[in-house]
Amino acid sequence: MTGSIVWFKRDLRVADHAALCAAAALGPVLPLYVVEPELWAQPDASARQWAFVAECLEALRGDLAALGAPLVVRTGCAVEVLETLARRHRLSRIFSHEETGTLWTFARDRRVGAWARANGMAWHEGPQSGVVRRLAARDGWAGRRDRFLAAPAAQPPGLSAVPGVAPGPIPTARTLRLAEDRCPHRQVGGRQAALTTLGGFLTSRGEGYRAAMASPVAGERACSRLSPHLAFGVLSGREVAHAAAARRAERPGGGWGASLRSFESRLAWRDHFMQKLEDAPDLEARCLHRATESLRPRTPDATRLAAFQSAETGIPFVDACLRYLAATGWLNFRMRAMLVSVAANHLWLDWRATGPFLARRFTDYEPGIHWSQMQMQSGTTGINTIRIYNPVKQGRDQDPDGRFTRAWLPELAEVPDAFLHEPWRWGGAGRVLGRAYPEPVVDVAAAARAAREAVWGLRRARGFAAEAAEVARKHASRKDRSGHFVNDRAPRRRRPAAAPGQLSLDL
């Protein structure tokens, strides 16, 4: 008997799973998830992410068992696990979805590919999103993406199991030696949780999406909250796109029309940013525009970095957002962008110093979104509009009554409302700052001026614009008036078109 391994990675579902369907059509199937300790030891991995994945694996095991073949879980090196199972059970094929991941997963997949070729194993990889592997040029990409999403979703197939394979335990975070990571309000993983979240957004919560998503208070409910389910493939992008289109076809009144269009636009931006990492796998390690490598010190200021990581920058709205993120694993898009901007511009920290820390905090960490946005908000792409967020203004705009800030910074209870977002201007600041709450690590206004001068000074340097045009040719896309992506051949004469700031695309 010969059969197939279906290697699950960031596609933890049975619905709309082309790899599972293709394997099932050929005979017995061994559904496999490999827990890779080395992957979970990387600086962008965290216990909160693993807890979410473990819940997804438990649910997936039940869904697969109902189809006829429960999930097999093994811990170890992917090549060694695949080799052992293939040899022991006479399996000749591997099916999986393409993964747009980190340099580590890219290198692992290359090792698996080399092993498969050397041992006569057929490895069939297919897309699970609008991202296109080995894309020669961005022209025509949008149409390919739209056609992929418009295709019918594959239905879960009946399965014939490979006999004699023990399911194996799903390890705990402690077993994987992951650092303790308290996240009391983390979202729950698993297919049922994902479907409940999707249904709640499309039937009730999403009407105010467009207007409320920028607020850390209103956005907690109004945003879809689907990002972790999309990041680990509990839902496919196609499933979500079909559900949103079906809801829009019902022509609901009120604010639904605008909110659904905005949501569908963000689904498209999600694939767009993931395509950037697919085209440039080292995006997490190097600045997209080479000249910006010299913009900030590669060795970060230890005091400023520690203040950012411990939510003690002395800038109230920034610290409130960081504490909220620590407790929930989520933050709305504008606040994510603000955090990166403050770290890069006010604290003058290299994005490679703060990127892994933020990645660990996000339960919905998606490498293709995260690293593109880290660079975009840090101004190192050379093609995107420079955004230096004013955290004081953001606090006043997004938390005008101070409810959010006070909830996460109770030590500022004594500070009057008028001075909450800049307590250093309050006459009684000495009673709080430097005691219950730290002094700001930088002068907010002066730091912003210095950053703006440095960034624009570099952009005016000889040769910068020419390289920016080449970066734009390879990586930049914009939308036309009908909402479709088109390729940008060069940046605009003054400032290039900017995509939404949406770190990890919180949706």
pLDDT at 354 over 70: yes
Continuous segment of H or E residues that includes residue 59: helix 47-67
Residue 227 lies in a domain: yes
pLDDT digits (tens, 9 = 90+) for 464-500: 888 888 887 777 555 444 454 444 333 333 333 334 4
> Which residues belong to the annotated binding site?
209, 263
| Same-domain check for residues 47 and 64 | yes
The arithmetic mean of pLDDT across residues 460-467, rounded, is 87
| Same-domain check for residues 231 and 292 | no
pLDDT at 244: 98
- Interior/surface letters 280-299, b for 16+ CB within 10 angstroms, e for the rest: bbebbeebbbebbeebbeee
Residue 424 lies in a domain: yes
Helix (H, G, I), strand (E, B) or coil at 392: helix
| Same-domain check for residues 345 and 468 | yes
pLDDT digits (tens, 9 = 90+) for 46-97: 999 999 999 999 999 999 999 999 999 999 999 999 999 999 999 999 999 9
Total domain count, the chain = 3
pLDDT at 283: 93
| Same-domain check for residues 358 and 255 | no
pLDDT band at residue 416 using 50, 70 and 90 as cut-offs = very high
CATH code for the domain of 38 = 3.40.50.620
| Same-domain check for residues 373 and 405 | yes
Domain of residue 223 covers 192-279
pLDDT at 471: 83
CATH code for the domain of 228 = 1.25.40.80
Across 7-21, 48-62, 112-126, 482-496, least confident range:
482-496
pLDDT at 466: 87
| Same-domain check for residues 122 and 271 | no
Across 52-66, 165-179, 186-200, 481-495, least confident range:
481-495
Residue 33 lies in a domain: yes
| Same-domain check for residues 263 and 297 | no
| Same-domain check for residues 377 and 480 | yes
Residue 261 lies in a domain: yes
> Which residues belong to the annotated binding site for FAD?
209, 263
pLDDT at 420 over 70: yes
> 391-398 vs 333-341: helix axis angle to the nearest 10?
160
pLDDT at 505: 55
pLDDT band at residue 401 using 50, 70 and 90 as cut-offs = very high
| Same-domain check for residues 236 and 219 | yes
| Same-domain check for residues 271 and 306 | no
H helices of 183-332, where? 191-203, 209-212, 219-222, 227-231, 237-249, 256-279, 302-309, 316-328
| Same-domain check for residues 294 and 348 | yes
pLDDT digits (tens, 9 = 90+) for 440-454: 999 999 999 999 999
Among 264, 279, 294, the domain-final residue is 279
Residue 499 lies in a domain: no
